[in-house]
């Protein structure tokens, strides 16, 4: 009975509150503004339909990243934070990727990544290295991109010194046995076959070829089959001696680590790399990448869907436009039909595509390099919707230069910040983030600073950036599949003109004809 009485009292207290909440009119809203009640403010705080910019400072006070530069030019960055698991991640980030390969040697950087694990003088073969890593319960991995190569290990904190020993050994004393090179050719060729089945990877390789035609940045990371079959030991050794130099390398560690201990261990072990002062920036300046408005089309009627990427010239890592373009990427958004929320998405492009049943999915992208970048839209669609889909995408890109609301920019900023935080969950991601930033910025940008830069982007900044990067600018296009209904590249180029720009160009053309 006591419980029933208590429930009845709770209902009596709740019903008047619900009545005020549901039936409050403009007058009540005005009164609430003048003297907000605690219940109303709680409701608005958690359910406001208008996105706002919150104060992030209480949540972003991560431990500071510590940086030391050794006399050789090698940099060491660590970020220590309490870890209940007592785990750590440590790796070597090298300012060298496929864009730095000599003509005719495309694929060497990636081949070297594979061969680094095939044995050293003290670890004679891949099996000895693998057993040592597994005995520690560790994980050793690597990856190659167009501008960077990374070797890293995830280990228990007490094994960080051993992990650094392994990393220094495989990079300073690789053996490159001929039998292992021959065997690895087959491994990489099989990897190439797997990549050819990943349409997103294929499209972005084609897009780079279209955007940077005739430049190493437009080459694939794996390289062509003929190069994989011809790369020799001397090519690998030359690449290491030329590009694996102390000023172009960063040792990054995160998790349960001690900065001073890591620095001392690196001083002891990383002693045989070249100290050639040539930087990646100097090499890029000597051979800059030029954005070319061209296309790569591969007609394949056997595929059920068309895969299309439309791109504009973006920004380099240090370009002031890089942050606004990140927000533009968030405004354009991403969507997949299997998720089923297209018509409820904050992205107007996703809503339009979902309502019109024009595509199976879309993804905005924004990729930065040292001297340039690309950003745009990747979409997968049935062949009969390609023209309408292309019109909608280009109209949305033009809209960004003239009609952007503060609400959608605020929403995009919040989504971007959430995405960035989700990508640094764990010691591996923190070490990767710090190593990459040391190579690209020369420092680790605190999240409070990064978020302040993002929050400074308003709708005027978005429109100014879109005008500069989209309106009357060249377009790179990559398309694979049943694409006979896809408009020509010249059509996409014409769709970058705003109405005023289009009128001006037509008037100028008529004046010339007269």
Each residue of 341-363: b (16+ CB within 10 Å) or e? ebeebbbbbbbbbbeeebbbbbb
- The Cα–Cα gap between 446 and 454 comes to 13
As annotated, the active-site residues are 113, 184
Query: CA angle 400-398-293, nearest 5°?
Result: 120
Is residue 356 a contact partner of residue 349, using CB atoms and an 8 Å limit?
Answer: no
Helix axes 233-243, 108-115, angle to 10 degrees: 100
| Rounded Cα distance, 407 and 411, in Å | 6
As a whole number of angstroms, the distance between CA 364 and CA 470 comes to 14
Q: CB under 8 Å, gap of 24 or more: what pairs does 367-370 form?
A: 367/314, 368/314, 368/315, 368/316, 368/317, 368/319, 368/322, 368/440, 369/99, 369/146, 369/147, 369/217, 369/289, 369/316, 369/317, 370/147, 370/280, 370/281, 370/284, 370/316, 370/317, 370/440
């Amino acid at each position: 009975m006591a419980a029933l009485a208590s429930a009845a009292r709770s209902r009596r207290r709740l019903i008047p509150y619900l009545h005020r909440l549901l039936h409050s009119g403009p007058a009540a809203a005005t009164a609430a503004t003048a003297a907000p009640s605690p219940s109303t403010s709680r409701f608005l705080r958690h359910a406001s339909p208008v996105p706002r910019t919150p104060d992030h400072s209480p949540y972003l006070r991560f431990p500071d990243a510590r940086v030391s530069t050794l006399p050789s030019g090698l940099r060491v960055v660590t970020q220590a934070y309490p870890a209940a698991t007592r785990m750590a991640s440590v790796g070597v980030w090298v300012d060298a990727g496929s864009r730095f390969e000599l003509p005719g040697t495309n694929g060497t950087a990636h081949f070297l990544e594979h061969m680094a694990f095939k044995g050293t003088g003290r670890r004679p073969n891949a099996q000895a290295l693998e057993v040592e890593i597994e005995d520690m319960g560790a994980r050793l991995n690597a990856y190659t991109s167009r501008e960077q190569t990374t070797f890293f290990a995830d280990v228990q904190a007490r094994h960080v010194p051993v992990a650094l020993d392994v990393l220094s050994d495989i990079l300073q004393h690789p053996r490159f046995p001929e039998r292992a090179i021959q065997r690895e050719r087959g491994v990489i060729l099989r990897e190439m076959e797997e990549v050819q089945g990943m349409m997103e990877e294929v499209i972005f390789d084609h897009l780079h070829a279209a955007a940077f035609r005739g430049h190493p940045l437009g080459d694939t990371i794996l390289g062509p089959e003929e190069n994989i079959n011809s790369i020799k030991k001397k090519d690998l050794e030359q690449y290491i001696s030329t590009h694996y130099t102390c000023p172009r390398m960063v040792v990054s560690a995160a998790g349960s680590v001690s900065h001073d201990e890591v620095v001392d261990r690196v001083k002891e072990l990383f002693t045989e790399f070249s100290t050639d002062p040539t930087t990646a920036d100097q090499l890029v300046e000597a051979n800059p990448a030029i954005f070319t408005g061209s296309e790569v089309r591969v007609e394949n009627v056997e595929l059920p869907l068309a895969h299309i990427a439309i791109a504009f010239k973006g920004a380099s890592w240090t370009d002031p436009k890089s942050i606004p373009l990140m927000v533009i990427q968030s405004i354009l958004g991403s969507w997949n039909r299997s998720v089923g929320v297209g018509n409820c998405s904050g992205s107007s492009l996703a809503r339009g595509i979902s309502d019109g049943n024009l595509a199976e999915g879309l993804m905005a992208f924004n990729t930065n390099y040292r001297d340039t970048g690309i950003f745009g839209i990747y979409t997968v669609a049935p062949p009969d919707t390609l023209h309408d889909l292309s019109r909608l995408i280009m109209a949305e890109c033009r809209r960004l230069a003239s009609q952007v609301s503060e609400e959608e920019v605020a929403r995009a900023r919040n989504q971007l910040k959430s995405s960035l935080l989700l990508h640094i969950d764990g010691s591996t991601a923190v070490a990767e983030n710090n190593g990459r930033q040391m190579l690209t910025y020369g420092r680790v940008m605190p999240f409070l600073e990064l978020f302040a830069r993002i929050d400074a982007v308003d709708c005027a900044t978005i429109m100014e950036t879109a005008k500069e990067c989209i309106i009357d600018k060249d377009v790179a296009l990559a398309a694979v599949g049943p694409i006979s209904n896809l408009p020509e590249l010249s059509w996409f180029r014409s769709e970058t003109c705003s109405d005023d720009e289009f009128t001006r160009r037509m008037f100028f053309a008529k004046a010339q004809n007269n």
